A and B are shown apart, each in its own frame.
Chain A
Amino acid sequence: MDASLAITPDTPVGFRLESLKKKAAIQLMGSRLWGRFNPNHWDPEYARSTGLEAPIQTGEMSSAYIAEMCVNHFGADFFRGSRVVCKYVASTYAGEVITTHGEVREKQPKGAGFRFIVDVWAENETNDKKTVGWVEVDVGVERKAQS
């Protein structure tokens, strides 16, 4: 983890997380572990037959992108008592380039630190939002205070 990205108890409300960019590559969308079970995720002809303009990514891939961004900033804290809420508001089509975003909305005092509330979203090249939600992560909170 890049220590310069770490969110600490001193990180202010309004802080913007560093974005990630990912291409919705059809070969990854259709891999066995991700979307092979549903041809809407990887076959252009089948997708068109169901009314889609192109294969769509599983929403969980964009949640994974957002989680990666959060791990970059929260590190180990993201794996202990965090919450991730995501709503898939629009389809991500094969070939689109998705950018993740995050902005600290609130810091709730908790123990020796704070529970950070961060708005997160993922959007395409024309700023159409695909996934919106928020995450909650404890930073600087004594472990025993989390129980």
Chain B
Amino acid sequence: MTGSADQRSELKPMSGLQRRQTREFIEGLASESRPYWDMVEIGDELARELHITPELVILYADGVEDFNCWYEGWRMNSWRVEGESPFGGAIVPPLLVSHFVLSVQFDATRPFSIGSIHTFHDSRILAPIPVGATVRIATRAVDKFEKRGRRYVRHECDVTDVNDGTQYFQEIRDILSL
């Protein structure tokens, strides 16, 4: 992989208008960005509720080209359907909620931190999540540490059903903060 201008433009061909729109969008993100390390204190707790709609599941699964029919609570032409899996109706892909943890730990009320890299996760999948469930994703910053000159923030997270309290998922994850 090289970084020549030709190869970069082949990766993402754009017209002049698209380039201008892209630069505006990025400048907007960058102007509000702050280092994640500075935004988090050990002990910080955050939680948000997420309604896992069939359409959200499809967006997630299509992004990684995972076309397992167990995740289909929405199909073109039929739209919302109950779906089928070994647990009855459609279920959520095993690591979907892990992806949404980041939009809890990156506190939605603060500027986003675009210089951060997810480096590690230790996830426990406790029970299948039915498509259509509303879950509570709760995170707690448990450590900030430096390793080989790099700064990391560690979080613990729990995902539970808002309606019946079922515990679906637990995770420990590290974020490298530039």
Which of B93-101, B139-147, B157-165 has 4 or more CB atoms under 8 Å from chain A? B93-101
Q: A53-B2, A59-B119 are in contact. Are A33 and B8 (CB under 8 A)?
A: no
Cβ contacts under 8 Å, A54 to chain B: 1, 3, 7-8, 11
A48 within 8 A of B: yes
A79 within 8 A of B: yes
Query: Once the chains bind, are B1 and A84 in contact (CB under 8 Å)?
Result: no
Query: Once the chains bind, are A44 and B11 in contact (CB under 8 Å)?
Result: yes
Chain A residue with Cβ nearest B92: A79
Query: Once the chains bind, are B64 and A81 in contact (CB under 8 Å)?
Result: no
Per-position 1/0 for B98-121, Cβ under 8 A of A: 110000000000001011111111
Per-position 1/0 for B51-66, Cβ under 8 A of A: 0000010011011111
Interface of A is mostly: mixed
Cα distance, A79 to B116, chains bound together (Å): 29
Chain A residue with Cβ nearest B95: A67
Q: A22-B64, A54-B3, A60-B98 are in contact. Are A83 and B125 (CB under 8 A)?
A: yes
Q: How large is the interface on A (under 10, 10 to 19, 20 to 34, 35 or more residues)?
A: 35 or more
B interface with A by C-beta (< 8 Å): 1-3, 7-9, 11-12, 22, 25-26, 29, 56, 59-60, 62-66, 68, 85-87, 91, 93-95, 98-99, 112, 114-128
A interface with B by C-beta (< 8 Å): 1, 22, 26-28, 30-34, 37-40, 42-46, 48, 50, 53-55, 58-61, 63-65, 67-68, 70-71, 75-76, 78-88, 93-96
